[in-house]
Copies of this chain bind each other. A is one copy, B any other.
Amino acid sequence: MNNQIIKGFSNLSKEKKLKQVALLTQNPEETEKIFKTFWIQDEKTAKRFDEFSENTISMFGLPYGIAPNFIINQKKYFIPMVTEESSVVAAAANSAKFWANFGGFKSEIISTIKTGHVHFLWNGNYNKLLSVFVELKDRMIAKTNNITANMRERGGGIIDIEIVNLTAELENYYQIKATFETIDSMGANFINSCLEEFAEELKLFLQEKTIFINKEKNCDIVMAILSNYTPDCLVETSVECKISDFAKLDIDMEPEKFVQKFQAAVNIANVSTYRATTHNKGIFNGIDAVALATGNDFRALEAAGHVFASKTGKYKSLTNVELTQNNFKFTLKVPISIGTVGGLTQLHPLAKLSLEILGNPNARELMTILSSAGLANNFAAIKSLVTKGIQIGHMKMHLINILNTLNATENEKEEAKLFFENKKITVENVRRFLNK
């Protein structure tokens, strides 16, 4: 292929885009055929779906699974999870089943505040700006009355607007920092629309007010945008049982030894960044799978969560264990900014159904569900790690993928499942088994 730029790709029809892309593969006809098997048949749904994004030529599918029997705040849920990783759903289901015996997950919303900023450079007298800031604030709120009307009706809107002086860190750098309550929407578009109005108002205000002179009349709006860091949109979820209850866990270990190793694993995640990364990654295996299934933006959750984990200056575990003589308590505290309206939540046919399967929760309830899935996955991962090791369970789940990769027949697959029932599964071992 030469490097000439192809112009007007975005203006082509879906069919023609696909045709052009297929030409990049060895068997264009076959490629087209495969991509088309993933086209949605119903025309209206297909169109809507393609319009979620741009240059859409097909639909990429991920397994939609169910982790049954989650008890969260006394309510039972079948949690839809979308993930490509084997053993994530099984792990969540396993934890859910165990904890259902001990009251399930207790989850509490700590706060639901979201934040956005007008970032601007201004070479002026800060105290002067501060002295008239109440007026500016009122004008900003008035200017967005239109945008916020609907949100206010639902009990949300702008919570507060303040000015942050960061000139000590960067020359002339200030923020208009605004906080919002966006109820059941993730709120990105709402917040950004407000912030852009604030920016316009700030510029007008500096021009109009006679208190500002010369250079103070102008400022440089660098950008106006919400923050995906949401440390004040926070949920805390925990499970709790007597230490002796772990005798009922499917492990070959004394309960006392188990909790001791479990605690060590969490302590290690607080000491070793290498471990904390993987520890928290496992939490997001659960959280992201539910985010995807409900049409939410997992990149926003990942960013907020990992930054939250690094807030002390050292990147640490998002979960915490408390052991008393008789009691084990395991807690996850994590920022989760999601929505149950807006975005794709109601537009994607399966996202909409996911929410219905969950009993049409509001955003607060959905926060409790995502964090419970995260805690469940972390519990399952640590349990495996400190008992029989991660590979036995994970590789058992993954065996079928290895067999498929090695093009095993259905017969061979059945034989392999039996053969590896009590043996170590590695790609090498499976390959050797098939060669025999």
Contact = CB atoms under 8 A, between A and B. Distances in A.
B314 A66 contact: no
Copies of this protein in the complex: 2
A79 to B, nearest CB: 10
29 contacts: A6-B69, A9-B66, A17-B66, A21-B78, A26-B356, A34-B353, A37-B40, A48-B404, A51-B401, A53-B65, A53-B86, A54-B90, A55-B68, A55-B89, A60-B293, A84-B343, A146-B428, A173-B268, A223-B389, A224-B390, A225-B390, A227-B274, A227-B277, A229-B276, A288-B298, A302-B303, A343-B401, A347-B401, A347-B405
A138 interface: no
Interface residues of A, number: 156
Given A295-B84, A303-B280, A404-B48, A31 B356 contact: yes
Interface string A378-405: 0000100110011100110110110011
Contacts of A386: 222-223
A78 to B, nearest CB: 6
Contacts of A391: 189, 192-193, 196
A38 interface: yes
Interface in A180-231: 189-190, 192-193, 196, 199, 220, 222-229
The 7 closest A-B pairs by CB, nearest first: A306-B306, A229-B277, A310-B310, A59-B61, A223-B385, A53-B63, A302-B302
A57 B62 contact: no
A54 B65 CA distance: 6
Given A121-B264, A278-B303, A88 B404 contact: no
A19 to B, nearest CB: 12
Interface centre among A37, A55, A404, by most chain B C-beta atoms within 10 angstroms, is A55
Nearest to A97: B5
A220 B264 contact: yes
A284 interface: yes
Given A56-B63, A65-B55, A166-B271, A41 B37 contact: yes
